[in-house]
Structure 1
Amino acid sequence: MLRSRIAASALLAALCLPLAACTSPETPGPLLGAAGPQAESAARAVPEALRFAAKTVDGSAFDATALAGKPVLLWFYGATCAECPAQALETAALADRHLGRVHVVAVAGPGAGTGLQGFAAPAAGGSLTHLADARHALRDRFRAEGVNTYVLLDEDGEDIYRGSGADTWSLDRELTALVGEG
């Protein structure tokens, strides 16, 4: 009887050891379940262009990897831009027209404070994220020419359009073609 208990204990230990090794935090191998291979392939699907973190104008953390999977429109604006309050309304209208198909993110340059959030409020129930770019890190990363500039990235993070805020008609055509509308 003692021998069968020892054998059963040894068998149980032999069966549990590989399971413990698979779930050990030190084990770098793939895990099964919700955080397993699907999550790893999703992490690989985040384009390099969207691998950054920033702060919103209200100080909240922002992880750009959450934008992966859809085109992203970045609008760069500044505190001294006379056209930007009106352009904020046009940017919000673009966000409304392409709601759910394109991520629209406003990027406030130095001195913009809490940004143009009051001006750039989409009517269709969506929201427009306003990132703080006090040191021009995002402007430099995306090679934006200055304030009132749009940069459009496709779902693979490729830069496919850039232009000034004065030409939203061309930008809207580009967005429409990109997401297959119309």
Structure 2
Amino acid sequence: MRVRLILPALLAATALTLVGCGEEKSASSSGAAEKSSPTASGSSAPAGDGTAAVPETLRFTGTTVDGKPFDAATLAGKPTVLWFWAPWCPTCKAQGPETAKVAARFQGQAHVIGVAGLDKPQAMKDFVTDTGVGAFPNLADEAGGVWKKFEITQQSVYVILDKDGKTVFTGSLPAGKGLAGKVSPLVG
């Protein structure tokens, strides 16, 4: 009986130990890990303002690190970058400046949203301040709901959605290099 109780806990602890900062699963020709996501479905509903349909991928809500409510439905109709990061992750810190540049460059044409996890809200706030990524929304996903929705199992991962909410890239981009090149064709 005790083995049945201990084994699942041991497996869970092992899985958490294996989650690495910036670890890549497989490399594409660009050197970044990529996978297609089954969460990108074609179903959509009208947006609250009636301008664009809201795809399933953008049907989630949350709270930003500064305590403001966030509804992803407001992102419908434009390409979106979701950047999954953890405050203690050096790879994530290295991605911050380039992610902020891409957010500024494509402001009004595409959305950039940080999705913080794997730590407490104060550490998330400190990361935003320390890395200068406060010009775009950063969600405090302490419970991991958005991470689960996009099947993210490690930090320092980008998920890029086209204007229809279809996932076109999922992977790590060391220091954020190549992010602008992935967003640029989506806004053109």
Q: Is TM > 0.5 for Structure 1 vs Structure 2?
A: yes
Judge conservation of contact 1:101–1:179 (CA < 8 Å) in 2. yes
User: Cα distance, 1:53 vs. partner?
Assistant: 1.0
Pairwise CA RMSD of aligned residues? 2.3
Q: Distance in 2 between matches of 1:67 and 1:110?
A: 24
Unaligned runs of 5+ in 1: 1-37
Give % identity: 39
Q: Distance in 1 between matches of 2:87 and 2:48?
A: 40
Judge conservation of contact 1:106–1:131 (CA < 8 Å) in 2. yes
The higher relative CO (CA closer than 8 Å, separation ≥ 6) is in 2
Query: Which of 120, 135, 160 is residue 132 of structure 2 equivalent to?
Result: 120
Aligned to 2:36: none
1:80 maps onto 2:88 in alignment:
yes
Unaligned runs of 5+ in 2: 1-45
In structure 2, give the amino acid aligned to 1:75. W
User: Cα distance, 1:170 vs. partner?
Assistant: 3.1
TM-score of the aligned structures, taking structure 2 as reference length: 0.66
Q: Distance in 2 between matches of 1:72 and 1:103?
A: 5
Aligned to 2:100: 92
Aligned to 2:53: 45
Aligned to 1:155: 163
Query: Which of 86, 91, 104 is residue 112 of structure 2 equivalent to?
Result: 104
SS at match of 1:152: strand
Q: How many residues align?
A: 139
User: Cα distance, 1:47 vs. partner?
Assistant: 1.0
TM-score of the aligned structures, taking structure 1 as reference length: 0.68
User: Cα distance, 1:42 vs. partner?
Assistant: 2.2
